[in-house]
Amino acid sequence: MKTRFPAEWEAQDAVLLAWPHENTPWAPCLESAQDNFLQIIRAILNFEKVILAVADLKHSESFSDKIPSGNMLIYETPGNDTWARDFGPITVFNDGNPLLLDFSFNGWGRKYPFDKDNLITRNLHRLGAFGNTSIESLDFVLEGGSIESDGCGTVMATSKCLLNPNRNPDLSKNQIENLLKTRLGAERILWLEHGHLEGDDTDSHIDTLARFAPGGKILYASCDRQDDPHYEDLSQMEEDLKSFRTHGGETYGLLPLPWPETEYYDKDERLPATYANFLVLNGAVLVPTYGDKKDLEALEIIKYAFPAREIIGINCLPLIRKHGSLHCVTMQIPKGVI
């Protein structure tokens, strides 16, 4: 049986999100968070369906008149938070047939409550959100934001996250590699040994640092300010990326993304703002922006990487205040699942 983990830029049926409500950490800033989610949902609906998990169907009444309903698929299921990238299903294709992999989610190493989020994928499947596609639950902790696929057998990840003992403490690096190769059909794993963002609760998710793009390209967070504490580590990450080779043995086309101005919460808590946390859709790329002078430059670089797609910036300052961004609150559902 041939297993393949598709690239994000391949055809999609929908994008999954979970609606923020008063019993999530968004409660102190709920209105701005919900407005931000509505912006993202509206943008996605111009290109494909949205699957929205709500803790209570009554919540949908608050936005039913604000978004087009034709492509909205709303399902009621409890949740602790809204980071669908990390508790949502990871879809692979076995001999061309989609399979939903429901890996375990433990709140990024038991940092936050996760019991309800860990059940969302199974609940949505039971409710018919994913059509007739089969699901398999795995006793292995893996978040969608921690892995990046080129669709051709290469998976990129960071050692700081996947090898962190707060995820799968009883497994060695070789065992984790073998599991990724077996379950995701990966032929090889490219490990980033460096790279982090202050304020990141995920232990260096790859989707905040480096992302594949078509044609053997990698977009990555780059810091050009030597006085910034990120400078040395991200420079070393760049050297890691330079050492990587494509399937054909060539160097990757590396596209450094600009470094936004430092963002703080309450002036003392640094936030992990990054342009690498973009979402690829069927006909567009949604890019997080931060009201920053580097926003336009980031959009232009991502346009170069995805020339056939519309590039849409969405101000994600409300999201970054909870230490995540646009890609983190979404999970694409590949074509054929629904």
* CATH for the stretch 3-334: 3.75.10.10
Backbone angles phi, psi at 267, to 5 degrees: 70, 0
User: What pLDDT shows up at residue 262?
Assistant: 67
Mapping DSSP to helix (H, G, I), strand (E, B) and coil, where does residue 63 land? Answer: coil
| Mean pLDDT score across all residues of the chain | 95
Read off the pTM.
Answer: 0.96
User: What pLDDT shows up at residue 264?
Assistant: 64
| Residue ranges in the chain assigned as alpha helix (H) | 30-45, 84-87, 107-110, 120-126, 159-162, 173-184, 231-243, 295-305, 317-320
User: What pLDDT shows up at residue 171?
Assistant: 98
Angle at 38 between CA 257 and CA 24, to 5 degrees: 90
Angle at 282 between CA 219 and CA 311, to 5 degrees: 50
Q: What is the mean pLDDT of residues 290-313?
A: 97
Encode pLDDT of 149-167 as tens digits.
Answer: 999 999 999 999 999 999 9
Of 261 and 336, the structure prediction assigns the larger pLDDT to 336
Q: What percent of the chain has pLDDT over 70?
A: 98
- Which residue numbers are catalytic? 328
Instruction: Identify whether the C-beta of residue 24 lies closer than 8 Å to the C-beta of residue 33.
Output: no
Residue position matching structure tokens 């399902």 = 75
Encode pLDDT of 50-75 as tens digits.
Answer: 999 999 998 888 888 888 778 999 99
Confidence band of 267 (pLDDT split at 50, 70, 90) = low
Exposure string of 274-293, with b = 16+ CB inside 10 Å and e = fewer, is bbbbbbbbbebbbbbbbebe
User: What pLDDT shows up at residue 265?
Assistant: 63
Encode pLDDT of 105-140 as tens digits.
Answer: 999 999 999 999 999 999 999 999 999 999 999 999
The strand pair at 154-158 and 148-149 is best described as: antiparallel
Cβ neighbours for 53, distance < 8 A, ≥ 6 positions apart: 16, 17, 18, 19, 75, 76, 77, 79, 84, 120, 123, 124
CA distance 153 to 5: 7
